[in-house]
Structure 1
């Protein structure tokens, strides 16, 4: 064959190898989420790509057959086509015993470089730019190519499967998406500007609902305002005026004898109608949703949805009331800093760049967010900052007791009846890497 014919055949071989490399990377790199979106929008080609990804062995076998066959044929043709011309060029400068070897080396280098550049490197880089778009474009010719190579690819796959079974290699692809995967995608979206800061914050908090227990967001027992059956009208009016709550527990004599709850709106209606409040009755007392303190916030949302309630009483394993929680409490957990709390609800006050005044009942998750701490030690043993201090000190804390952890100093500021009211947390600028070392005063 003439040089021109050889060059045309080599160009065709490079184009064929480039197409296979492009298809291979595009099909392997296509994300299932995007393909499913395309398939649901009516693109049948996207569904074919998904099906091929589920059973990709035939394609990869056919692809390797084609690539290796093309590379071998291209090397044979290229060496035969270019070596005489390189030999003539070399002999103009050198006519020794190495002239043939030099011309072969130059011919081999030229052909190999052309295949690496145009049949391998460039197609693969192009495929990584838009794998889904390219994969749906090439799926039809790829099916034709797979059908042509089916007999040989079946034989090669049979040998490969036999070897995998022999060496007990699991070839099943795990496509389960974990929270870490989603978190990484969200972080990438936030860095790229696709997600705004508050949107990223909201999504992270939503995923935390599965991990946070009810006590981390509830109103604790000592802060619950409730009525008793024999509550005086004056006391009811005073509590309504003093506490801006929409719902109040109704108990028989103490907080652990829960009967139900009343809606502040119902009581106000009675006041407007000049009706007596001397005795709470069935017309105003509603059945209350009761839940264990072991539920997660995600599970509680399901309970609220199924029961059509927005208010629940939280019991512990000893059937004692440990607090109450509302749908608004969960929403505040999701919204975080974007909800404007009242002065009484502020649990973390930033005094300056390196110190915080923190309420003892602050949930550990809120503390981690405020101080940018990834993990707290043995956090399955407590749920609040006060619990963390008691766990580390191994005693009922007293004012001035301190714990040093993660480059921060936690100091007890105020204790009321064995309950930690407030702590002062200070960043230790010279001891950021200090290991956990509790100290008592």
Structure 2
């Protein structure tokens, strides 16, 4: 009976060490940091143990191997005679002792596999953080108790790892790919709502998108000419209700400054003729290069405390204008109120009407296209069509690429205003002139 109780105790202790090993190894660093902030003291200990796990794993292996040896010795003593007595009732041949030993060995091994290995490890995998913070204190104490043996085996292990060129410590670096994988898992399980999933995805793309994807392009900029009379100024303000207007001398590349529409309103309220003068024109214009990413642009706005910026290219020519609202809309998406026409309109399950200035990443998200070729060569859907055609497209020109057809259906001068994107069965890439 004492031997059987000894086996039960060994199984329990082995299960504790096996559960601790899996739980501490599988505990997620981000989850542990959250638990630490919430006041779970064991979480900090687990993080420290994960940073330098060598001594802990050495101790666990010493304990598990010692328990396995003791379990074999006690099991042979406790079960072999009992199994022999029952087996003798049906078999009394020359192999009785050997068969009895094999059966008792299989019973002990099965008990250890089931109750000291599989079950505790499954429990630890299901809730690794909860188990880890409960056992870490005991594991640290045992590691300290076996410190001489632990130091010896851990030192030998580190030496072998260095000789083989492997690192001796784990580096926990959370990459963008890991964050995206966690988001996908959260979205599939339902813990992450669709709007939250879209918002986080857009934020992660801020480093990939450049200013041209969010700005108002040059041809769409409404500006005031320094020579405009009162009637022309009032008409432009009525047609384009903006807070600020650029003031130019003939065209955008001769930019003088900008004027706040409040100043124009003050002139009207005073009964004066609206006119542009140095008193109401702000000369300090905030410029940003078009090569900036949206993340860099947000930081620039934060530092300057400006509401809008003029976007210029490498030749100092104005290519667009961008506001804080434009940048916010670029990653808030459908969560902010959008006034105007949608850039992507779905006609049916297999086709979409797309504005030529739509960022390619937005279209790919809508149509479910992941492996886009040569994404660094263009930014908009129109740019993709031009790049694939190797020329300016004409109406009805189209390309086939990876099961999608991109057809220009509305051309304004040299500008691609609208495209029809359709999903097709033929995935062969070709250009039709």
Aligned partners of 2:410, 2:123: CA distance in 1, in Å?
64
Pick one of 410, 413, 418 that aligns with 2:414.
Answer: 418
1:268-347 paired onto structure 2 within 5 Å: 268-285=265-282, 287-343=284-340, 345-347=341-343
Pick one of 119, 124, 128 that aligns with 1:127.
Answer: 124
Deviating beyond 6 angstroms after TM superposition, the runs of 4 or more aligned structure 1 residues are none
Aligned partners of 1:438, 1:138: CA distance in 2, in Å?
64
Provide closer, same or farther for how the CA distance between residues 112 and 104 of structure 1 changes in structure 2, counting only shifts above 3 A.
same
Provide closer, same or farther for how the CA distance between residues 147 and 339 of structure 1 changes in structure 2, counting only shifts above 3 A.
closer
| Offset of residue 355 of structure 1 | 2.1
CA contact (8 A) 1:213 1:293 kept: yes
CA contact (8 A) 1:212 1:297 kept: yes
**What residue is the counterpart of 1:392 in the other structure?**
388
Residue 368 of structure 1 pairs with residue 361 of structure 2: no
| 1:272-303 C-alpha deviation (Å, 9 max, x unpaired) | 23233222323342522100000000111111
Q: Which moves more between the two structures, 58-67 or 23-32?
A: 23-32
Aligned partners of 2:235, 2:354: CA distance in 1, in Å?
30
Q: Which moves more between the two structures, 195-204 or 163-172?
A: 163-172
Aligned partners of 2:308, 2:287: CA distance in 1, in Å?
9
Pick one of 44, 67, 71 that aligns with 1:70.
Answer: 67
1:237-276 paired onto structure 2 within 5 Å: 237-276=234-273
CA contact (8 A) 1:250 1:285 kept: no
| Offset of residue 137 of structure 1 | 1.2
Residue 194 of structure 1 pairs with residue 191 of structure 2: yes
Residue 144 of structure 1 pairs with residue 141 of structure 2: yes
CA contact (8 A) 1:224 1:324 kept: yes
**What residue is the counterpart of 2:431 in the other structure?**
438
Length-normalised TM-score, structure 1: 0.94
| Offset of residue 58 of structure 1 | 0.4
| Offset of residue 107 of structure 1 | 0.5
Residue 60 of structure 1 pairs with residue 53 of structure 2: no
Aligned partners of 1:60, 1:339: CA distance in 2, in Å?
51
**What residue is the counterpart of 1:219 in the other structure?**
216
CA contact (8 A) 1:368 1:375 kept: no
Aligned partners of 1:375, 1:254: CA distance in 2, in Å?
41
Aligned partners of 2:254, 2:134: CA distance in 1, in Å?
69
| Offset of residue 45 of structure 1 | 2.1
Aligned partners of 2:4, 2:286: CA distance in 1, in Å?
81
Q: Alignment partner of 1:325: what SS?
A: strand
Q: Which moves more between the two structures, 238-247 or 75-84?
A: 238-247
Aligned partners of 1:124, 1:368: CA distance in 2, in Å?
42
Q: Which moves more between the two structures, 345-354 or 225-234?
A: 345-354
| 1:163-207 C-alpha deviation (Å, 9 max, x unpaired) | 112221223323111111111111221222222111111111111
Aligned partners of 1:92, 1:352: CA distance in 2, in Å?
78
Aligned partners of 1:368, 1:257: CA distance in 2, in Å?
38
Identify unmatched segments of 5+ residues in structure 2: none
Q: Alignment partner of 2:251: what SS?
A: coil
Aligned partners of 1:280, 1:213: CA distance in 2, in Å?
35
| 1:401-423 C-alpha deviation (Å, 9 max, x unpaired) | 11111212111122222222222
CA contact (8 A) 1:220 1:323 kept: yes
Aligned partners of 1:337, 1:45: CA distance in 2, in Å?
41
Pick one of 17, 20, 30 that aligns with 2:17.
Answer: 20
Length-normalised TM-score, structure 2: 0.96
CA contact (8 A) 2:23 2:129 kept: yes
Residue-pair matches, total: 433
RMSD: 1.6
Q: Alignment partner of 2:400: what SS?
A: strand
Q: Alignment partner of 2:61: what SS?
A: helix
Aligned partners of 2:85, 2:8: CA distance in 1, in Å?
23
Residue 427 of structure 1 pairs with residue 423 of structure 2: yes
Pick one of 93, 99, 104 that aligns with 1:96.
Answer: 93
